[in-house]
Amino acid sequence: MSFSMGTFFDSFSLLIEYARTWLVISLISLVVTWSFPAQAASRIDPQLEQQVLQIIREHPEAIIESVQAYQQLQQQELKQAQQAFIQDLKTNLQTVIGESPTTGSTKSKTVLIEFSDFQCPYCAEAHKTLKELLVKYPDKLRLVYKNLPLVSIHAEALPSATAAWAAYQQGKFWEYHDALFTNQKQLGQALYLDIAKKLKLDLGKFKHDLSLATPAITKDIQLAEKLGVAGTPFFVINSPVFSGVVQLANIEKILTDTK
């Protein structure tokens, strides 16, 4: 059998490309702590795998290039998602709000989207500041609440978000929201029921609605992931003077600059 150099280089290039793809997929799986099913792993040809590993050892720069290219692609997709979100804030506000709770002036030119976690101490501090701003600028600010329970570090983040959603179904979200932050150190089932009683909620409906909250909360989480939100509180604002991600400390200046 004849074997030309062209064929050799074509095969070698193919293996290089395979190596890049194979390792990038492996790296991604490690980053997101996801592993291939056992049956998928069993379909990999052991001989081909050894060839790929050998190429990786001899050409580590190919792997670095692949990882960098993947990271650049991720950054581009993230930037596009963020830009699309800001544009929706300007032109399709109701789409962004969806069924999320809002407070403040519905006629305000400034809309603040907050991603928050009821067990996050920084969110509790931000809550105090936001309440002050809503009182100080009643006609200049509309606040929209989005859930981002950090379940990996806050055991009560999701249960408290679920309870607040159930209260929202009876028109008492913001009262329940305030009570959760005020009693943040006591978060738990006893507190959730106690707040419901104090707000005179229909307890039967409240308990039933707890089981229906998952889709709405999941939708908020997916939006946060799409926008690259890694922590709470996280704010995005749209006003006549500024649109984009904003720090809590800068919100009041934006409000004072807005006519």
Q: What is the 3-state secondary structure (H, E, C) of 106-134?
A: CCCCCEEEEEECCCCHHHHHHHHHHHHHH
Q: What average pLDDT does the segment 51-72 reach?
A: 74
Confidence band, pLDDT 50/70/90 cuts, at residue 23:
low
48 or 110: whose pLDDT is higher?
110
In 10 A of CB 65, how many CB atoms? 12
What average pLDDT does the chain have? Answer: 85
Which superfamily does CATH assign the domain made up of 92-257 to?
Glutaredoxin (3.40.30.10)
Residue 234 has pLDDT above 70, yes or no: yes
Ranking 70-74, 93-97, 146-150, 158-162 by mean pLDDT, the lowest is: 70-74
Q: Which whole-number Å values give the CA distances from 117 to 120, 124, 220, in the listed order?
A: 5, 9, 11
Report residue 72 as tokens: 């650049």
Distance CA 78, CA 84 (A): 10
45 — pLDDT class (breaks 50, 70, 90): confident
Share of the chain above pLDDT 90, in %: 67
Listed residue (225, 80, 85) closest to 144, CA to CA: 85
How many CA atoms lie within 13 Å of 208's alpha carbon, on the beta-carbon side? 7
Q: What is the pLDDT of residue 20?
A: 57
- The pair of three-digit structure tokens given for residue 36, joined into one six-digit string: 């291939």
The residues, any chain, with a CB within 8 Å of residue 82's CB and separated by 6 or more, are 227, 228, 245
Q: What pLDDT was estimated at residue 16?
A: 52
Q: How confident is the model at residue 222 (pLDDT cuts 50, 70, 90)?
A: very high
Q: Which two tokens stand for residue 41?
A: 């792993």
| Amino acid of residue 33 | T
For the chain, give every residue range classified as CATH 3.40.30.10: 92-257
For every residue of 239-257, DSSP letters joined together read -SS-EEEE-HHHHHHHHHH
**pLDDT given at position 26:** 53
Dihedral sign for Cα 174, 259, 132, 238, please. Answer: positive
Among 52-56, 87-91, 192-196, name the one with the lowest average pLDDT: 52-56
pLDDT average, residue stretch 14-36: 50
Amino acid, res. 213: A
Length, in residues, of the chain: 259
* Residues above pLDDT 70, as percent of the chain: 81
Q: Does 176 have pLDDT greater than 90?
A: yes
Confidence band, pLDDT 50/70/90 cuts, at residue 18: low
User: By three-state DSSP, how is residue 136 classified?
Assistant: helix
CB-based contacts of 183-191 (< 8 A; 24+ apart in sequence): 184/118, 184/119, 184/121, 184/124, 187/118, 187/119, 187/156, 187/159, 187/160, 188/156, 188/159, 189/159
- Which pLDDT score is estimated for 36? 46
